[in-house]
């Protein structure tokens, strides 16, 4: 149930420094050795001592950072900033009690600082002082009603406690603040379903489906100018519209399309990027950008872009699935069936885009010479489109033979099987994925769509419902996982201790892969980047693959 589980990870800070970005004076170009010399020459400069501490903190030189912050504190004893720096050092060390003391001392000097108030509550939540944390988040919102993180953490605590009315209250406020945020609307719709308020869920899902950008009627000015002989005139008209309305993402996409027709590839890519700067979740712009990369032979860029498009398409599909399930719960079976048909109609895009991403990775290897010609296919020349796809299927099949306990491998293999028309095998593969990880809603949705396409309607409806159903026994596990991941020193230690305990055991690899998937479920890991990394891992030797998987959680912040 990814969207409700994702709510558990929202609002968390990766470190305390991010709470004080506007209050601490460090500059990105600050370099510790240069600052150390300057601080030595100006020993009474509190600003230099503070910046030196921040530079050391960025370099994880924690003893030197603490010493610099203490120096700044002595120079400017009335300033709260050195205390914030010392709290950040304690945060890196996992010493949350000490961090809380420094923050509380700073807060006494400035009790109306919402960032400080939030940071104190955040420390309290990580220390399992939940009632105090809730009070702190509410005080932070009194000081700054626009503080999204505080709403999100209050909602996460409410979901953990099964307090659906409170969770709804927090997400309704978030939706009022940003009515165009698709993730917020999807989570709120899921909470309504969990609270058995399907009529309200219908409203939220319908609102979510209205967000996808649509072309404006002004584009009709160019509809009759797309013929080759008038292409230049069409481009000039669109360029004027873009200058007049630079925030209209559909204008940029259409102009990019015209540039493609004119063979102006760099200009086309530039326009698709402009569209995504304006509307980061614009699916059409994302797909067209990836397609343009592919046409120009930039296969890695194309694959990465297609992976982002997969996530956007799946999210849109989730909105249709949620709407269909809510309609079914209201007894509107005919509307529900039509809505779920629409959800199913979107799924082939996910299958195609993922398959293209996997194929492009193999093609990249072939172009670099890393893939022997005809490898695994029985051919002797350069691999064509179908052979490249077959090679991607073979790699996933082989990986599953070696690692059958990886839910994500089953899911990705199922997508490839669908693409090559092996529907019954895909059904079993998706079943395997959700058997390993019952919270893998993407796999559950794909299973439902496959069953629907095979005419197994009752099974399909149950699978759709299961994709949106929250099993409460998993809630606290994912809530604690989010908090632990926000305490990086403890998280890394816990993973390391587990790896040592099961060294040489297949459970080690399965644990890492499924823990990484759980982190995706709560929104702590970039799904598109994680998918690309997983595809790339399948091209390595068994030894390299083992080492890569052992590093996956340590490197998870780089995804």
Q: Is the pLDDT of residue 247 over 50?
A: yes
Average pLDDT over residues 538-542: 58
Greater confidence, 414 or 219?
Answer: 414
Q: Do 401 and 364 contact (CB within 8 A), yes or no?
A: no
pLDDT digits (tens, 9 = 90+) for 271-314: 999 999 988 888 899 999 999 998 888 888 888 899 999 999 99
User: Which residue has tokens 């179908």?
Assistant: 386
How many angstroms separate the CA atoms of 137 and 10, rounded?
Answer: 14
- Both tokens of 57, joined, read 């903190």
pLDDT digits (tens, 9 = 90+) for 186-201: 999 999 999 999 999 9
Please give the pLDDT value at position 493: 56
Q: Which of 56-70, 214-228, 418-432 has the lowest mean pLDDT?
A: 214-228
Q: Is the pLDDT of residue 202 over 90?
A: yes
- Both tokens of 61, joined, read 């030189």
How many angstroms separate the CA atoms of 154 and 499, rounded?
Answer: 33
DSSP character at residue 210:
T
Greater confidence, 162 or 373?
Answer: 162
In percent, the amount of the chain with pLDDT more than 90 equals 47
What backbone phi and psi angles, to 5 degrees, belong to 487?
Answer: -110, 75
Let me know the angle formed at the C-alpha of 311 by 388 and 271, rounded to the nearest 5 degrees: 85
Q: Is the pLDDT of residue 238 over 60?
A: yes
In residues, how long is the chain? 559
Q: Is the pLDDT of residue 523 over 90?
A: no
Let me know the angle formed at the C-alpha of 34 by 33 and 37, rounded to the nearest 5 degrees: 85
Give the rounded distance of the alpha carbon of 220 from its chain centre: 36
How many angstroms separate the CA atoms of 467 and 321, rounded?
Answer: 9
515: enclosing H helix or E strand: helix 506-521
Predicted TM-score (pTM) of this structure: 0.84
How many angstroms separate the CA atoms of 467 and 430, rounded?
Answer: 12
Q: Which of 15-29, 129-143, 167-181, 360-374 has the lowest mean pLDDT?
A: 360-374
């Amino acid at each position: 149930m990814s969207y409700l589980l994702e709510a558990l990870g929202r609002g968390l800070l990766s470190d305390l420094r991010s709470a004080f970005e506007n209050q601490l004076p460090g500059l990105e170009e600050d370099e510790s050795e240069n600052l150390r010399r300057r601080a030595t020459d100006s020993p009474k400069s509190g600003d230099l001592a503070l910046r030196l501490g921040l530079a050391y903190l960025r370099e994880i030189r924690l003893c030197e950072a603490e010493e610099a912050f203490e120096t700044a504190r002595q120079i400017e004893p009335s300033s709260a900033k050195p205390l914030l720096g010392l709290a950040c050092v304690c945060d890196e060390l996992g010493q949350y009690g000490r961090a809380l003391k420094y923050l509380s001392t700073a807060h006494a000097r400035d009790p109306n600082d919402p960032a400080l108030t939030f940071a104190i509550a955040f420390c309290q939540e990580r220390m399992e002082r939940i009632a105090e944390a809730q009070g702190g988040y509410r005080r932070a919102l009194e000081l700054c009603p626009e503080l999204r993180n505080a709403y999100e953490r209050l909602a996460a605590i409410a979901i953990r406690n099964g307090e659906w009315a409170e969770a709804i209250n927090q997400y309704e406020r978030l939706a009022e603040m940003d009515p165009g945020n698709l993730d917020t609307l999807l989570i709120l719709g899921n909470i309504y379903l969990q609270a058995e308020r399907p009529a309200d869920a219908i409203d939220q899902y319908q609102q979510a489906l209205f967000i996808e950008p649509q072309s404006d009627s002004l584009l009709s000015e160019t509809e009759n100018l797309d013929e080759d002989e008038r292409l230049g005139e069409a481009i000039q008209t669109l360029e004027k519209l873009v200058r007049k309305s630079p925030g209209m993402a559909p204008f940029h996409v259409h102009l990019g399309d015209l540039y493609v027709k004119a063979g102006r590839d760099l200009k086309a890519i530039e326009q698709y990027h402009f569209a995504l700067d304006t509307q980061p979740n614009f699916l059409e712009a994302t797909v067209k950008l990836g397609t343009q990369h592919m046409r120009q032979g930039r296969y890695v860029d194309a694959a990465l872009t297609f992976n982002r498009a997969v996530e956007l398409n799946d999210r849109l599909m989730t909105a249709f699935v949620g709407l269909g399930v809510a309609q079914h719960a209201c007894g509107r079976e005919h509307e529900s069936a039509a809505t779920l048909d629409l959800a199913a109609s979107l799924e082939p895009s996910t299958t195609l885009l993922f398959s293209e991403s996997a194929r492009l990775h193999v093609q990249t290897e072939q172009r670099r010479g890393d893939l022997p010609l005809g490898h695994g296919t029985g051919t002797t020349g350069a691999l064509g489109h179908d052979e490249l796809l077959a090679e991607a299927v073979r790699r996933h099949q082989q990986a599953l033979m070696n690692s059958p306990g990886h839910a994500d491998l089953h899911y990705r293999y199922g997508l490839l099987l669908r693409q090559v028309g092996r529907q019954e095998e895909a059904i079993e593969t998706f079943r395997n994925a959700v058997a390993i990880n019952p919270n893998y809603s993407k796999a559950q949705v794909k299973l439902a769509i496959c069953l629907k396409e095979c005419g197994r309607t009752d099974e399909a409806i149950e699978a759709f419902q299961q994709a949106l159903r929250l099993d409460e026994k998993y809630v606290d596990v994912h809530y604690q996982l989010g908090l632990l991941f926000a305490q990086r020193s403890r998280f890394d230690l816990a993973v390391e201790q587990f790896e040592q305990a099961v060294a040489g055991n297949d459970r080690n690899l399965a644990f890492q892969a499924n823990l990484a998937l759980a982190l995706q479920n709560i929104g702590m890991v970039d799904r598109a980047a994680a998918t690309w990394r997983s595809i790339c891992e399948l091209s390595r030797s068994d030894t390299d693959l083992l080492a890569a998987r052992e590093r996956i959680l340590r490197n998870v912040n780089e995804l």
